[in-house]
Amino acid sequence: MGMFDEIHCDAALPDDACEAGACFQTKSLPDPCMCRYRITASGRFIDSDGNDLEPSGYITFYAYPKDRASGDGSFELVEYRAKFLDGNLDSVVRVRSAEPCEVRYGLASFRWFPLANRRRAGGSNCL
């Protein structure tokens, strides 16, 4: 499984598969370490200290659907891909696992702050 970061998405999602305000997981950022981030309603990507990371590129995030069956093991993660251009959210699309994909999505750039300034998902003062 490995480490991941958490994303809270206040921006509109393309469907209602996940609860509003759901916490998503991502491995799109380098060295995931249980840090918390937020996509704001105004389309900015910020860390738990409120630093605007100004990404360019794609961030993929996923969670279980709000209507998943409990205990039967037949559910799949709901996956979204956010596209950022010069720090502004351009779009969020639902990724369909059955769709063949020959393109690698990732971040081209983003601002980074020292680890000491980022809050861990289990710590206090998180988003």
DSSP type of residue 70: S
What's residue 119's pLDDT?
52
Helix (H, G, I), strand (E, B) or coil at 76: coil
Q: CA-to-CA distance for 8 and 83, rounded, in angstroms?
A: 15
What's residue 127's pLDDT?
43
Per the confidence metrics, is the pTM higher than 0.85? Answer: no
Q: CA-to-CA distance for 70 and 54, rounded, in angstroms?
A: 38
CA atoms within 13 A on the CB side of 60: 13
What's residue 115's pLDDT?
58
Which comes out higher in pLDDT, residue 118 or 36?
36
pLDDT digits (tens, 9 = 90+) for 30-70: 888 899 999 999 999 999 999 999 999 999 999 988 776 55
